[in-house]
Amino acid sequence: MTTTVDVEGSVALLAPETAERLQGIVMTTRDLPAMPQVAAKVIELASDPDTSSSQLQQVISDDQAMTGRILKIANSAMYSCSRRIKTLNEAIVMLGFNSIRSLVVTSAARNLYNTRKSRTGLKERLLWEHSIGGAIACRLLAAERAPLLAEEAFLAGLMHDIGKLVLNLRVPEKFDQIVQVVYNENQPFHTTEAELLGFDHTQVGALLVNKWKLSPALEEAILNHHNPEAMTADNPLLLYLDLGNKMCKKMGIGFIDDPELDILDCPANRILQLPRSTFEQAAEVLQTTLENEMEIYV
C-alpha cells in the first residue's frame, strides 16, 4: 500500500492564507514562465499514439533554438547513439517520442533559469546543475533495470527541485534567507522552507508539473521526494528519483556535497537492489557529461 500524498490533498492541509500564497506563486502567469507554445504542442502530440514523426518534426522545426538543442543533446554521452544524428527527423526516429518529450521539457524548464528577472549567479547555476545532474542520473539508473521508465525518470530528476527555481524567481529575498539557513545551520531545504514560507519546494514543483500538464505519476514523485513513507516498491519512479538525487549529493552536484553518503544501503536501494557497478558506471557518464557537455543545457 502506497503512502504518497497528492498535491491537492497537500495544499488542502495548509492554512487558507498559506495555500493562497502557494497557489499564487505557481499559477500567476505574468511572472512565472508558462510552458512555451511549441513545447506544449510537442508534449500534446508526443502523447498521442496517432502522431507521426513528420508531424512532430514540423512543430519542433518552427523553433530553431529548440531544434538545435535537441540535436546537441541527442548526440551527447547520455544517449550514446551508435552514429551521429544530423537531422531532427533522425533524432525523432532514433530516440523516440518519449525522449523528444524529455528534451522539450528540459528546454522549457531552462526558461526558469534564464529568465531576465532571475539573477543568474552561483546560486542559480548550482540549482540548475543539480536539476540537470539529477535528470541524467535518474535516467541512467532507470535505463539499467526499467528502460520503459527511463524518460519519466529523467523528467523526475529534472523537475524534482524545480520548485526552488520558482521560489528564487518569485520570492528571491525570502529564498536568499532560506539558502542562508541551509548553509549556515546545515538544515534541509524543505524543512527550512516550511518554517519560513509555510510550504516547500515539493509542493511548488508538483503544482508547476500540474500546470504544465505533464503526468500525474511525475507530479506525485516530485511531491513525495522528501516523504520516506512513500519509498515503497509500488513507487519505482520515486525510488529512482531518490537514488539519482542521492548520487548528485554524493558527487557534490548542487548545493550539497556529501561524499560519505551510502547509496547502496539506503531505503530505496534496499528495494531496487542495484549493484555497485551500476552506480559506478552511471557516475562516470554523469561526470563526463557535466564536465564536457554542460553548455548544451544552459
Mean pLDDT for the chain? 85
Question: Per residue, what are the HEC states of 61-94?
Answer: CCCHHHHHHHHHHHCCCCCCCCCCCCCHHHHHHH
The one-letter amino acid at 5: V
b/e map 87-98, b = 16+ CB within 10 Å: ebebbbeebebb
Query: Tell me, what's the pLDDT at 22?
Result: 67
pLDDT in tens, 241-253: 999 999 999 999 9
Q: How high is the pLDDT of residue 9?
A: 55
The answer on pLDDT for 286 being more than 90 is: yes
Q: What is the pLDDT of residue 115?
A: 52
Interval 40-52 mean pLDDT: 89
| CA–CA dist 253, 226 (Å, integer) | 18
Q: What gap in Å lies between CA 269 and CA 243, rounded to an integer?
A: 7
pLDDT value, residue 121? 79
Q: What is the CA radius of gyration of the chain?
A: 18
CATH of domain 7-31+118-296: 1.10.3210.10
* Residue 155, pLDDT above cutoff 90: yes
pLDDT over threshold 90, residue 190 = yes
Please, are residues 254 and 245 in contact by the beta-carbon 8 Å criterion?
no
C-alpha cell at 166: 520558482
pLDDT tens figures, 89-136: 999 988 888 889 988 888 888 877 665 444 567 888 888 899 999 999
Q: Give yes or no for a contact between 27 and 219, defined as CB atoms under 8 angstroms apart.
A: no
Question: In terms of pLDDT, which residue wins out, 274 or 82?
Answer: 274
pLDDT tens digit string along 210-254? Answer: 888 888 999 999 999 999 999 999 999 999 999 999 999 999 998
- Give dist(CA 228, CA 191) in Å, integer: 14
**Using one digit for the tens of pLDDT, what is the confidence trace for 7-42?**
555 555 566 776 666 666 655 434 445 678 888 898
Position 70: which residue type? Answer: I
The residue among 151, 147, 150 whose CA lies nearest residue 100 is: 151
The answer to whether the CB of 150 falls within 8 A of the CB of 143 is: yes
Q: Give the DSSP per-residue string, 148-161.
A: GGHHHHHHHHHHTT
**The pLDDT of residue 116:** 47
| Whole-angstrom distance, CA of residue 271 vs CA of residue 207 | 28
The predicted structure's pLDDT at residue 2: 42
Domain definitions of the chain by residue range? 7-31+118-296, 34-114
pLDDT in tens, 263-284: 999 999 999 999 999 999 999 9
Residue 111 or residue 174, greater confidence: 174
- pLDDT for position 19: 66
pTM, to two decimals? 0.85
pLDDT of 153 higher than 90:
yes
Is a pLDDT exceeding 70 seen at residue 1?
Answer: no
Q: Residue range 46-55: average pLDDT?
A: 89
At 11 the pLDDT is 55
Residue the block writes with cell 524518460: 151
> What is the pLDDT, as a whole number, of residue 238?
97
